[in-house]
Chains A and B, each alone.
Chain A
Amino acid sequence: MMNLEHVLKEKFGFDKFRPGQKEVIESLMSGCHTLAMLPTGSGKSLCYQLPAYLLNKTTLIVSPLLSLMQDQADQLKMRGEKSVLTLNSFLTLNQKREAFDRLHMYRFIFLSPEMLSLEGVIKSLKTLEIGLFVIDEAHCISQWGYDFRPDYLNLGEVRRELNNPLTLALTATATKEVRKDIIGKLNINQAKETVSSVDRDNIAILSERLFSYEEKLFRVLELVRKFTGSGIIYFSSKKVAEAVTGFLQENGVDSVNFYHGGMDQDQRMLIQQQFISGQLKIICATSAFGMGVNKSDVRYVIHFHMPSTMESYLQEIGRAGRDRKQSVAVLLYSEGDEGLPLHLMEQQLPSDLQIEGVCSFLSEAQKIGANLTLSEKEQLSQSFSLNDIQLRFFTQFLTGNQDPLQHVEEMKEYCQKRKSRNQEKLHKFLNWIYAQECRRLGILNYFDEKQQKLNPFCCDFCGMDANKMIDLLPAVKVEQVNSYTTWKQELAFILLKKENWDEK
C-alpha cells in the first residue's frame, strides 16, 4: 500500500491526518463501500479528495445544497485543482453541452440530486469510468434523519444504473438507526462503517435556565462581553435575531450583525464573508447560517432559542472550535421555549386539508408536481397557502405519472409519521435539557456511544460555567480596526500596490 501521508503532504500540504480520515481512506482504497460519520469540521471532504488522486478515475459527488457544492468546488480550485465541474441549473445550455462533451476530463464532478433526475445526465455519466461515488450529507436519504430530502431517495437507483461504483456515504450526525437506513437505501449492504465519536471534546457544553426574554437579552449581552473571539448566536426567529442585534449594538457591542433567510442573497454573502474574515465578530443568525461556512476560530455558539433536535444542536455547536482550541456552547433555555420549534415543525409539512386540496386540484388540471411552471406553482401556493417547504413537498412527492388523488392517503400517512417522529425528537432534546446528568454523556447516549474519557472542562453539570470559561478560552490578538480615510485613498488601498498609495 502506498504511503498515504506522502500524498497528503504533496497534494494538501498537511503533515498529519485528522482523526477518522485515514481509516475512511484506507477502507475505500481496499475497495470497500464505506459509510463515514465524521463530526462537522473534521475535514470530511479530504476523505474523498485524497482517494480521487489515487484512484485516478472520475469522482462523482452528490451534494444537497447548491451553495455547499459550490463551496467545496471553489475550495478545490483554490488549492490549484483545475479539473473540477459543478453541474447545476445555473449553467447555460451551451455550457452544459460543453461540459457534457468533456465530462471524462474532470477529476471531480459535483452535482445536485435534481440534476441526476434530468434526462440524459445518467446516460452521459454512464460513459465515464467512475472511481468513486460520494454522497455528501448522506443522512438526507433517511426518512428518520432530521433533514430528509425526498430527491435523495432515488440515489439508490442511480447507483445501480451507474453499475454499483465504489461508494462513500458521508454524514456528520446520524444515529444508529439512520446509518442502517442509509446503507439499506443505497444498497451497499457490505459497507464498512467508520464512525467517529460525535463528541467534540474541546467544546464545553453549558445550559442555563432563564425566566424571561429580558433576562435572556441581558445574559447574551453579558456573555458576548465576557467571551473573547468570534461567536455565533442562534435564533429560531428572524425578528428576534434582528432585535437582539439592535439591542447589542445599542449597548456598545459594535461588531455584530444579523443573518437570516429573509435577506437578499448578496447581502447575506457579505455578512458571511465579513464574519469569516474577522471583520465582523458576532453573528445573530437563524439556522440558515453555517452550511459551508469554513471558519476555524469560532470560540462560542450561543443558543438564544433551542433547536428542535439533538442532531441540529450538535451541528450548530460544531461550528465552534474547529481549530481544536478550547471553545464553549451555551444554551439559554426558559420554560415554554419548545413552543417555537414545535410551531416551526408544523409548518414544514402540509396539513391533511392542504394535501387533499392540492391533489384534487392537480388531478383536475391533469398535472404532476414535477412539471409545474413557476406561475402554476405560485398559484398553487396562493390558493392553498403553502410555504416553500410545503410546496417542495408536493413537487417532490408527486413525480410519477399516476393521478395525484391516488397518493392522498399515502401522503397523509407519511406526514403523520414525520410529524410524530419530529415531536419525538424534540422531546428527546427537551429531556436532555431537563436531565440531571452530564450533558456530554447525554449526547453520547443519544448516539449509542460510550464515554471514552472524562473531560476536565465538560459541562455545567460537571461544574463548568461561563465565568470559568473566560480564562480557558485562548487569547485573541486584538486586530487594529482600519478606519475609513477618504474615498480616493480607500480605492487606492484596494487597487494599487503599497508603494503607490501615498502619491495619490
Chain B
Amino acid sequence: MNNYLQVIILYAIKKFQGERSIYAIYHMLQGKKSSQTIQDAHLFGLTNIFGTIPRFTRQQLNQNIQLFHEHNFIEITDKTDAYIISGQGGRKLTDYLKKNPFPTSLNGWKYQNITPIFWGRLNLLIQTISHIVHNERRFYPIQRNPKIQCFVKEFLQNNRQDRGLIAQHLYEELISLLELQSNLKRDIFILKLTGVNRIGLTFEQIAKRKDVEEEYVRFTFLDSLHQMLAEIEQVTDYPILASLFSDWQRSGNPHLTHSTQTTLRYIQAGKTLFEIAEIRRLKVNTIEDHLVEIVLSDKSFPIAEYVSHEDEGEIIAAIKELNTKQLKAIKQEVDNKQISFFQIRLVLAKLGDG
C-alpha cells in the first residue's frame, strides 16, 4: 500500500465484513445523503470517514479494488461486488496504521458540511487580521468564495474591538486548542495558514516537507479541524472560534436530510407514519427510512410506539447472539412473524456503532 486513500478503503472493507458492496464505500466517502448510506455509517461504525472525500470517484474505487485483488488483500464473497479483507490485507493494514495512526477525532458524519466553511472563514479571518495587525491594508484574499468573504467582512464589522486585541484572543484560542493536538497535526495546521508575508502550503507541499504521504496529510488536517470543532462545541472558552460556526449550530439538527426534517416535524405533531406518508405522498418505506435516520442522529429518540419493549429485547438478544448486522440473519434468528425488517433496523439504529 502506498497511500492513505487505500488505507481508508481497506479499512472500510474490513468494517463492512462483506455485508455491503464496494459501492457502499463510494457513497460513504462521498457522504451521500441517503438513508441507506447514513444507516450504514452508523451500523458499521464508519461515521468517522463519512463524507471525508467529497470528490471521490468510482474510477478511483475500482482501480484500488483491482489493486487489492491483485495483491490478495481482499477476497470475494458470494455477494456481488462485496469483499472481505484477507489475512494478508489485515496484516498490511495493521502495519500501515502503526506507522500512520488512524485519525482519532475524525467525525465526517457530524462535521462534513461545516468543515470547509469553518476552515474557509478561519483561514480568511487569520489572513485579514494578520495584515491589519502588521499595518498592511492591501492583500489578495486567499479565499475566493464570496460568501466566505462576506462572512469575514461582517464578522469584523460586528466586532468593533481593537484589531490587535482580536488577534491576541484568536492567537490564545488557537494555541490552547493546538496544545491538545499531536505534533504532526499542529505543524500541518500552521503550514496551511496564510498571513502577512506568507501563503499557506498545499497538501502536496506539506507532504514533501514532512516526508509523509499527501493523502495522509489531508486526512490529518481534517482530523485536526474536527478535533477543534468538537472541543469548541464542548467548552465555552473559545468565543471567537465558536462564532465562526454558530450559524450552523443554530440551524437545528443539521445532520438530517431536508426531507427527514419535514417528517420529524410531522412526528412531533403526533402523526403516524402512515398519515405522514399520505400527507407527503411518499411511500411508507421512505418515511420509515426517515425515522431510522432520526434515531441514528438522536439515540434517545423514543421508539416504543414503533417497537414494543418485548420485541426490542428479542431483537437485541438476536443481534448479540449472532454478532451481525445483517437484517435477514437477525430476522431468521428472532423467528417471529410479527417483527418487521423496519423494526430491526430501528433497534440497530438505537444500538448505534460498534
A contact residues vs B (CB 8 Å cutoff): 67, 70, 74, 78, 86, 88, 90-92, 95, 249, 257, 264-267, 269-271, 273-274, 276-277, 279, 482, 484, 487-488, 490-498, 500
Chain A residue numbers with a CB within 8 Å of B147 are 90, 92
The 8 A-B pairs of least Cβ separation, nearest first, read A494-B195, A495-B171, A487-B186, A267-B202, A273-B199, A274-B199, A487-B190, A495-B167
Q: Is B142 part of the contact surface with A, judged by Cβ < 8 Å? A: yes
Q: Judging by beta carbons under 8 Å apart, are B146 and A91 in contact?
A: yes
What are 20 A-B contacts defined by CB distance under 8 Å?
A70-B144, A70-B146, A91-B146, A92-B147, A269-B142, A273-B194, A273-B199, A276-B140, A279-B198, A482-B197, A482-B198, A484-B191, A488-B175, A490-B190, A490-B193, A494-B196, A495-B130, A495-B133, A495-B170, A495-B174
Known: A90-B147, A496-B133. A257 touches B142 (CB 8 A): no
Q: Is B205 part of the contact surface with A, judged by Cβ < 8 Å? A: yes
Q: Judging by beta carbons under 8 Å apart, are A492 and B171 in contact?
A: yes
Q: Judging by beta carbons under 8 Å apart, are B178 and A279 in contact?
A: no
CB distance from B106 to the nearest CB of A (A): 19
Chain A residue numbers with a CB within 8 Å of B83 are none
Chain A residue numbers with a CB within 8 Å of B144 are 67, 70, 265, 269
Q: How long is the Cα–Cα vector from A497 to B144 in the complex, in angstroms?
A: 26
Q: A74-B141, A487-B186, A494-B130 are in contact. List 8 more A-B contacts (CB 8 A).
A: A67-B144, A78-B138, A90-B146, A273-B199, A487-B178, A488-B175, A490-B190, A495-B133
Give the residue name and chain of the B residue nearest to A79 (CB). Answer: B138
Q: Is B187 part of the contact surface with A, judged by Cβ < 8 Å? A: yes
Known: A90-B147, A269-B144, A270-B202. A493 touches B195 (CB 8 A): yes
Q: Is B129 part of the contact surface with A, judged by Cβ < 8 Å? A: yes
Chain B residue numbers with a CB within 8 Å of A86 are 146
Q: Among B146, B168, B170, B199, which residue has its beta carbon within 8 angstroms of that of A270?
A: B199
Q: Judging by beta carbons under 8 Å apart, are A74 and B140 in contact?
A: yes
Q: How long is the Cα–Cα vector from A497 to B136 in the complex, in angstroms?
A: 12
CB distance from B119 to the nearest CB of A (A): 9
Q: Is B145 part of the contact surface with A, judged by Cβ < 8 Å? A: yes
Interface residues of B toward A: which range? 35 or more
Total contacts A-B at CB 8 Å: 93
Q: How long is the Cα–Cα vector from A95 to B149 in the complex, in angstroms?
A: 13
Q: By CB atoms of chain B within 10 A, which of A88, A265, A267, A269 has the most?
A: A269
Per-residue interface assignment for chain B, residues 275 to 312, with 1 indicating a CB less than 8 Å from any chain A CB and 0 otherwise: 00000000000000000000000000000000000000
Q: Judging by beta carbons under 8 Å apart, are A270 and B200 in contact?
A: yes
Chain B residue numbers with a CB within 8 Å of A274 are 199, 201
CB distance from B156 to the nearest CB of A (A): 14
B contact residues vs A (CB 8 Å cutoff): 55, 126, 129-130, 133-134, 138-147, 150, 164, 167-168, 170-171, 174-175, 178, 186-187, 189-191, 193-205, 208
Q: Judging by beta carbons under 8 Å apart, are A495 and B195 in contact?
A: yes
Q: How long is the Cα–Cα vector from A498 to B126 in the complex, in angstroms?
A: 16
Q: Judging by beta carbons under 8 Å apart, are A257 and B205 in contact?
A: yes
CB distance from B168 to the nearest CB of A (A): 7
Q: Among B126, B191, B197, which residue has its beta carbon within 8 angstroms of that of A495?
A: B126
Q: Judging by beta carbons under 8 Å apart, are A270 and B190 in contact?
A: no
CB distance from A361 to the nearest CB of B (A): 22
Chain A residue numbers with a CB within 8 Å of B168 are 495-496, 500
Q: How long is the Cα–Cα vector from A74 to B168 in the complex, in angstroms?
A: 28
Q: How long is the Cα–Cα vector from A56 to B126 in the complex, in angstroms?
A: 37
Known: A86-B146, A496-B133. A491 touches B190 (CB 8 A): yes
Chain B residue numbers with a CB within 8 Å of A273 are 140, 142, 194, 199
Q: How long is the Cα–Cα vector from A95 to B171 in the complex, in angstroms?
A: 32
Chain B residue numbers with a CB within 8 Å of A266 are 143
Q: Judging by beta carbons under 8 Å apart, are B199 and A491 in contact?
A: no
Q: How long is the Cα–Cα vector from A271 to B168 in the complex, in angstroms?
A: 29
Chain A residue numbers with a CB within 8 Å of B187 are 484, 487
CB distance from B94 to the nearest CB of A (A): 30
Q: How long is the Cα–Cα vector from A137 to B280 in the complex, in angstroms?
A: 50
Q: How long is the Cα–Cα vector from A492 to B186 in the complex, in angstroms?
A: 14
Chain A residue numbers with a CB within 8 Å of B164 are 497
CB distance from A107 to the nearest CB of B (A): 19
Chain B residue numbers with a CB within 8 Å of A269 are 142, 144
Q: Judging by beta carbons under 8 Å apart, are B193 and A270 in contact?
A: no
CB distance from B148 to the nearest CB of A (A): 10
Known: A67-B144, A273-B199, A274-B199. A496 touches B167 (CB 8 A): yes
CB distance from B213 to the nearest CB of A (A): 15
CB distance from A307 to the nearest CB of B (A): 26
Q: Judging by beta carbons under 8 Å apart, are B175 and A491 in contact?
A: yes
Give the residue name and chain of the A residue nearest to B196 (CB). Answer: A494
Q: How long is the Cα–Cα vector from A90 to B144 in the complex, in angstroms?
A: 11
Q: Judging by beta carbons under 8 Å apart, are B202 and A494 in contact?
A: no
Q: How long is the Cα–Cα vector from A279 to B191 in the complex, in angstroms?
A: 13
Q: How long is the Cα–Cα vector from A499 to B130 in the complex, in angstroms?
A: 14
Q: Judging by beta carbons under 8 Å apart, are A495 and B146 in contact?
A: no
Give the residue name and chain of the B residue nearest to A80 (CB). Answer: B137
Q: How long is the Cα–Cα vector from A277 to B197 in the complex, in angstroms?
A: 8
Give the residue name and chain of the A residue nearest to B191 (CB). Answer: A484
Q: How long is the Cα–Cα vector from A500 to B142 in the complex, in angstroms?
A: 26
Q: Among A90, A267, A270, A496, which residue has its beta carbon within 8 angstroms of that of B145?
A: A90
Q: How long is the Cα–Cα vector from A168 to B199 in the complex, in angstroms?
A: 36
Q: How long is the Cα–Cα vector from A274 to B193 in the complex, in angstroms?
A: 12
Known: A273-B142, A491-B171, A496-B167. A279 touches B199 (CB 8 A): yes
